[in-house]
């Protein structure tokens, strides 16, 4: 049997570990609650050690919550850096795996890796400049420009852009510990729940919460469209599982653009332009396998 890759979706509430080569070849998968770094990474290492008895694992890819250091030339490459998540600041995730397995380790942000998954097997196969947004506990954005995952000074932090906040329409102050009413602070899952007194999945589709949520999401997406000119916008995460919000976002974005972007893709309608992830909740774990394959090829 040909060699497999390990993929890790390292999230703030759970870690998903998988072994395989793609969506049609997942040979093993496990979900672990995110506990302390020592406990969680210990269980991750145990899982892949057991899997190595059955499969040759050529490399491991990690899709990590952040902020992270994704720069391979940095002494802290593969670290989760200044996260507010208790116990996880300055955690050497990739170095710990490298020490345990001595195989190539790919490491990037959860959203960049999910973008890679969608580019490899999902909604973004036909494009090379696009964004992947997750709207959940936080708001994160990653993606590709000309076929390269986006890095720079560190990595994009699209969730923390400033958007207009009409305090009369929405007196809620926002949830972001750094900025209050940035995009994430106004439109993440916890903001929905705090503003309306119940979580998004319990708010009925006709609730006024959704028109405000769509308005905020559309403001952020429109800014990203103006800056990056993506050929596609993929929107995943827990809030977007309420799929009735997509048509509201399409409507709001169209109205905000006001005919300015003269691309047939946008002028013909946004149904095929702002879309859910084709891999559903599996973009991260599958993207991590694609990232491992890249790390293996590069080594």
Q: How many residues does the chain have?
A: 299
Work out how close the CB of 188 gets to Zn ion at its nearest, in angstroms, rounded to a whole number: 9
Nearest-approach distance from CB 179 to Zn ion, in angstroms = 4
CB of 136 to Zn ion, least distance (A): 15
* Token pair belonging to 93: 């995730």
Q: Is 94 a residue that touches Zn ion (CB under 5 A)?
A: no
CB nearer Zn ion, residue 118 or residue 181: 181
Q: Which of 179, 207, 251, 254 binds Zn ion (CB under 5 A)?
A: 179
What CA–CA distance (Å, rounded) separates 193 from 91?
A: 30
Binding track over 141-170 against Zn ion, x by CB under 5 A: -------------------x----------
Q: Least distance from C-beta 203 to Zn ion, angstroms?
A: 23
Minimum CB–partner distance for residue 67 and Zn ion (Å): 12
| Residue 265 to residue 127: CA distance in whole angstroms | 12
Angstrom CA distances, 290 to 122, 251, 280, stand at 12, 34, 16
Q: How many CB atoms lie within 10 A of CB 48?
A: 21
Question: Hey, is 17 helix, strand or coil?
Answer: strand
Q: Is 176 in the site for Zn ion (CB under 5 A)?
A: yes
Chosen residue from 182, 186, 221, 239 binding Zn ion by CB under 5 A: 182
Phi, psi (degrees; rounded to nearest 5) at 278:
-70, -25
Cβ atoms of residues 228 and 221 within 8 Å:
no
Based on the shown chain and the rule CB under 5 A, indicate whether residue 98 belongs to the binding site for Zn ion. Answer: no
* Cis, peptide link before residue 235, omega less than 30° from 0: no
Q: Does the protein bind Zn ion through residue 18 (CB under 5 A)?
A: no
Rule CB under 5 A: is residue 103 a binding residue for Zn ion? no
Q: Which residue has the tokens 């995730």?
A: 93
When asked if residue 43 is in the footprint of Zn ion (CB under 5 A), the reply is: no
Q: CB-wise, 176 or 286, nearer to Zn ion?
A: 176
Other CB atoms closer than 10 Å to residue 271's CB: what's the count? 10
Is 18:62 a contact under the CB 8 Å cutoff? Answer: no
Sole window of 44-52, 72-80, 176-184, 215-223 interacting with Zn ion (rule: CB under 5 A):
176-184
Nearest to residue 286, comparing CAs of 34, 99, 8? 8
Q: Quick check: 173 binds Zn ion (CB under 5 A)?
A: no
| Residue 207 in the binding site for Zn ion (CB under 5 A) | no
Minimum Å distance from CB 176 to Zn ion? 3
# chain residues binding Zn ion, by CB under 5 A = 5
Please report where in the chains the tokens 């599996």 appear, as a residue: 282
Which residues of this protein are in contact with Zn ion, per CB under 5 A? 160, 176, 178-179, 182
């Amino acid at each position: 049997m040909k060699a497999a890759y390990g993929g890790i979706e390292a999230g703030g509430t759970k870690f998903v570990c998988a072994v395989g080569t793609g969506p049609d070849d997942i040979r093993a998968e496990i979900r672990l609650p995110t506990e302390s770094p020592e406990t969680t990474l210990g269980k991750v290492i145990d899982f892949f050690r057991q899997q190595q008895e059955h499969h040759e694992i050529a490399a491991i890819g990690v899709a990590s919550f952040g902020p992270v250091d994704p720069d391979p030339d940095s002494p802290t490459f593969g670290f989760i850096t200044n996260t507010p998540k208790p116990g996880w600041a300055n955690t050497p995730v990739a170095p710990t795996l490298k020490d345990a397995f001595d195989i190539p380790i790919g490491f990037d942000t959860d959203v960049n890796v999910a973008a890679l998954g969608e580019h490899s097997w999902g909604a973004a196969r036909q494009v090379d400049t696009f964004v992947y947004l997750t709207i959940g506990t936080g708001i994160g954005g990653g993606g590709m420009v000309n076929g390269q995952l986006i890095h720079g000074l560190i990595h994009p932090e699209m969730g923390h852009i400033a958007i207009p906040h009409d305090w009369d329409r929405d007196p809620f102050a926002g949830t972001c510990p750094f900025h209050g009413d940035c995009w994430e602070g106004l439109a993440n899952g916890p903001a929905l729940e705090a503003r309306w007194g119940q979580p998004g999945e319990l708010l009925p589709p006709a609730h006024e919460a959704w028109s405000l949520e769509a308005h905020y999401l559309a403001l952020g997406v429109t800014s990203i469209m103006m800056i990056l000119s993506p050929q596609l916008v993929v929107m995943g995460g827990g809030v977007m599982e309420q799929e009735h919000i997509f048509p509201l976002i399409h409507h709001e974005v169209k109205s905000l653009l006001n005919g300015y972007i003269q691309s047939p893709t946008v002028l013909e309608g946004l149904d095929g332009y702002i879309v859910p992830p084709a891999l559903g909740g599996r973009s991260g774990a599958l993207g991590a396998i694609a990232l491992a394959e890249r790390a293996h090829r590069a080594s």
